[in-house]
Structure 1
């Protein structure tokens, strides 16, 4: 029976979620990985799939798994290069652990924070994750610890999960941990600690409640979870923190009930996304479209296809923010801005052509849209 001090509440509505699972839930007592708590989490993922929902899993545990596989060499547990090697050895074990629970394919996706800062690699990562979801696969994301020196020092998959949630336009970030949620103090050392069920915003007072790491296996504590909730909130995504070792909490989660802590998003996801698109710096390039494309973009819900493009000015790279304009009263007028899936030279070659012709014209394709509707915001007559 659960001994949680948190009250039961309704889980926020969601269709696509990122689920972060820490090392403390996967580590076996004797070293390596255990299915003890992974099974309950896998059952939640499976029930979500049956309900038509999509899940991206951010899973730790590679270093712990690798350490168990080279147990005969204890010196391999120390030093940054050794930890990177252990991550490389253990990553396949992490993927195999999750694959055993599912009939659908499990896909390994290794990222660094640099992959998500660089606009071209950001688009590539997002396109890959979206395609995996459309194929019905379960993406299992982890930091690319074998090359990401700074990220491995931080060991911070909580913040990575928040970044991935924004990357895939998730509705919800779920963080599974080995405690019931946020408390006013460390519940392991302070019996008077009060359970916090709902957090409207992560203030300095809330941050002061964060303790250190609670496990010798995991390297993230409550502080990184609060940081992740803050990042998600900025992107218009709510976060829930729950106990992945509590069978009852897992059953409730599958029934859209939460026994844990809910962190609310400050803005709607759409508002946060559109605000960022409207204020992100421009690359200096412009794409000119015909009247039909302009109407479609301004009415909302349409992507920019190559057939509606009549000209390109300036230079920009794939992933750059560009201005989209049309001719009004014989003058160029800005109507939208968005992230271009193609570089300026590529757009010039495919302008006015059908999407099906892109690969034949370029020899490759990044998709049928030049600017996807999720990466586009109308600006004509819009308030800043």
Structure 2
């Protein structure tokens, strides 16, 4: 059956920031060489989205496949060989995206260690946020050259979900070589029917997914559903669409999806607030009356000038309480350790680096990492 048929156009979920995952099969020819054939439409989607005031982070596979087209066939087997291929192909991959976009492209290579270690996680998030603020398009890939686990099946699908949570994306867009999710594998089952919308991911959904999708890639529909599950846990919706179909991609740029929409059980902000409210705090930051009012009524970030002290011992990335000495009214993620907070308390943000010798930014707790405590769940 024609996979493009049967999917009824539907609105994309509202979004300002998205992560776009692009698989190897969309960027390489059968012999492994990089090609712009499908990337052109996807780059146009990114450009049109940026023109509309939106932000896009690209998670792009293709480095190993691109490197394979440059190496001697007898020297590209085994894990060391694949890691070498990633090193060869990564520069070509970034060059491809830069050639298709008129704004600067920034290469960001991550491993799971970067995302499991809390301080490195926060550093990666701060870097990606700053790159977006600078008007660039970050192109994220796994650092396959030095990481072993990252060459496993479909890992970039899951990496995309992690990056979506990392940058507080509103939606995860997965460009694939199929039109969306089907009741069976449409390549082998003529009775396969498209699945338009999944209100909440269930285990039964995985039964419709197959294994690896293509020779060039490392993942299939199952890993995409796993990624959607991770994104949903963070309150982020996922959409699957055919990245080979320029008309489908053009409709996407106009706010219309022709593919599968996998909904999250709650909004991104609700998921984040729930997590902050129910995560045991490690310590406490005390603030003055002006900071307390700004945090509770104006949705402000906590700056060092409003801090009067810190209780307990916490590290950067820990969840802490915020109070005024009498009432605890907020929780948030600390950008500085307790010892640092005590040293920069009451100071202007411009003095942070002079006092500490380094700076993780001007906020003690950023407003995106802060929730005020009330009666809501």
TM range (shorter): over 0.9
**In the aligned structure 2, how far is the partner of 1:159 from the partner of 1:30?**
26
Who is 2:310 aligned against? 312
**Contact 2:154 / 2:219 at 8 angstroms: preserved in 1?**
yes
1:100-147 CA deviation, whole Å, 9 max, x = no partner? Answer: 011211000011122122111111111111111111101000111122
RMSD across aligned positions (CA): 1.5
1:72-103 CA deviation, whole Å, 9 max, x = no partner? Answer: x2123211121111111111111001000112
1:163 is aligned to 2:162: yes
Distance 1:323 1:101, change over 3 A: same
Q: What does 1:37-186 correspond to in 2, within 5 Å?
A: 37-70=38-71, 73-186=72-185
Q: Secondary structure at the match of 2:275?
A: helix
Q: Matched residue pairs, number?
A: 376
Q: Which runs of no fewer than 5 residues in structure 2 stay unpaired?
A: none
TM-score, normalised via structure 1 length? 0.95
Who is 2:26 aligned against? 25
Q: Out of 364, 375, 379, which is 2:358 matched to?
A: 364
Deviation at 1:170, TM superposition (A): 0.8
1:202 is aligned to 2:201: yes
**In the aligned structure 2, how far is the partner of 1:184 from the partner of 1:155?**
21
**In the aligned structure 2, how far is the partner of 1:2 from the partner of 1:220?**
19
Stretch moving more, 309-318 or 120-129: 309-318
Who is 2:16 aligned against? 15
1:131-182 CA deviation, whole Å, 9 max, x = no partner? Answer: 1111110100011112221122234111111111111111111000000000
Q: What does 1:325-344 correspond to in 2, within 5 Å?
A: 325-328=323-326, 333-344=327-338
Q: Secondary structure at the match of 1:311?
A: strand
Q: Which runs of no fewer than 5 residues in structure 1 stay unpaired?
A: none
**In the aligned structure 1, how far is the partner of 2:275 from the partner of 2:202?**
22
Distance 1:87 1:325, change over 3 A: same
1:324 is aligned to 2:328: no
**In the aligned structure 1, how far is the partner of 2:3 from the partner of 2:328?**
58
Runs of 4+ off more than 6 Å: none
**Contact 2:4 / 2:179 at 8 angstroms: preserved in 1?**
no
**In the aligned structure 1, how far is the partner of 2:96 from the partner of 2:7?**
30
**Contact 1:2 / 1:246 at 8 angstroms: preserved in 2?**
no
1:288-332 CA deviation, whole Å, 9 max, x = no partner? Answer: 11122122222251111111111112222111112222222xxxx
**In the aligned structure 2, how far is the partner of 1:50 from the partner of 1:289?**
40
